[in-house]
Amino acid sequence: MKTKEINWGILGTARICDAIIPCIKSLKYNLYGVATRKKSKNTKFFEKHKIKKIYENYDSLLRDKKINFIYIPLPNSMHFDWCKKVLKQKKNVLCEKPICLDKTSLDKLDKLSRKYNCTISEAMMYRHHKLILKLQSVIKRKVIGDVTKVESNFYRFTRFDKKNIRFNKKLGGGSLFDLGYYSISLINLIFNKKPKKVFGKIVKKKKVDLKFFGEIHYGNNKVGSFSSSFIDENNDITIITGKKGKIIIPSTFLKGKKKIIIFKKNVRKILYIKDKTHRYLREVKNIVDASLKNHNLVVSIGESKKNVYCMEKLMKSAEVNKFLKLR
């Protein structure tokens, strides 16, 4: 398939589209059209991005046979239903995280993608950053020995607004789904093992969890812990403890200068990570290459299943206030 035949369609006009659309265009893919339910309210958006074709409902875009890649930036609770509809139209889909709110739903999407021979991937922009590739290399080479503990905090102060979907429980809002999911993903990536049990706690709540704390246990005294928050000052530090040293990543997920600080035998070493590529560009290119060139997905469906299952169980653990075992 030639580049000119890569036609992207987008469901909705969420703010994150301002980051994704330039990436689609810079890769010389065709942004074929955007669907919206509120055309009159999104005039500036369409003018800004020079959208040529506008669909007044999502289904009409999906029925357009010229479109073969779909980006879904809809509210979390809508991901499963629209991913399912996309796959049934035999189109590839890049869906914002979390791709589903429960593992059973994701299992169904996996089966559909295989049935219709389509590629489905979860949009996790941080997984495509050179920082993570370097971190994986440092961990694999056991620079700090076997990892025993990972602590990951992701705080992003967000003023309460009932119109903001992050504060709408029915739409899948809350700090765990919005921010904590990043930490769950990173912790699972670092340990690269099947989690055995989890514990979750809602620290503060107003309609949704404003602050969430979680633990993921892997056995053999290997534990990951995280905290997500809408009510604290911006912070996304990660601390990785090994048997021979420690790693600190001051800025893991948010924008900013990236570096890995290694402490070992009373010596500090700083690895500065330069990455000029737009942080969303690689995830767009990756799903196209996976679909057309048989490249591996950076975020595989198997990885997403592990993360979604952990997230699902962590929320249930918080509701019953006890550890829950994972199958």
- 53-80 pLDDT per residue, tens: 999 999 999 999 999 999 999 999 999 9
Band (pLDDT 50/70/90 cuts) for residue 2 is very low
How far is Cα 158 from Cα 127, in angstroms, rounded to an integer? Answer: 24
Tell me: pLDDT of 1 over 90. no
**Distances, alpha carbon 226 to alpha carbons 55, 116, 238, 280, in Å:** 41, 37, 9, 24
How far is Cα 5 from Cα 34, in angstroms, rounded to an integer? Answer: 17
* pLDDT at residue 3 in the model: 46
Write the pLDDT tens digit of every residue in 130-189: 999 999 999 999 999 999 999 999 999 999 998 999 999 999 999 999 999 999 999 999
Q: Which of 59, 7, 312 is nearest to 181 (CA)?
A: 312
* pLDDT at residue 38 in the model: 81
Instruction: Map residue 180 onto helix, strand or coil.
Output: helix
Percent of the chain with pLDDT over 70: 99
* pLDDT at residue 37 in the model: 86
Give pTM, 2 decimals. 0.96
- Domain 3-124: give its CATH superfamily: NAD(P)-binding Rossmann-like Domain (3.40.50.720)
**Distances, alpha carbon 17 to alpha carbons 23, 24, 27, in Å:** 10, 10, 15
Handedness of CA 129, 133, 139, 144 (dihedral sign): negative
Same fold, 3-124 and 127-279+308-325: no
Q: How many CB atoms lie within 10 A of CB 90?
A: 12
Amino acid making up residue 10: I
* pLDDT at residue 39 in the model: 79
* pLDDT at residue 41 in the model: 80
Residue ranges covered by each domain of the chain: 3-124, 127-279+308-325
Q: How many CB atoms lie within 10 A of CB 219?
A: 11
* pLDDT at residue 106 in the model: 98
CATH architecture designation of domain 127-279+308-325: 2-Layer Sandwich (3.30)
How far is Cα 116 from Cα 283, in angstroms, rounded to an integer? Answer: 22
Summary mean pLDDT of the chain? 96
Q: Token pair for residue 135?
A: 């971190």
**Distances, alpha carbon 52 to alpha carbons 16, 25, 30, 33, 64, in Å:** 19, 13, 11, 7, 15
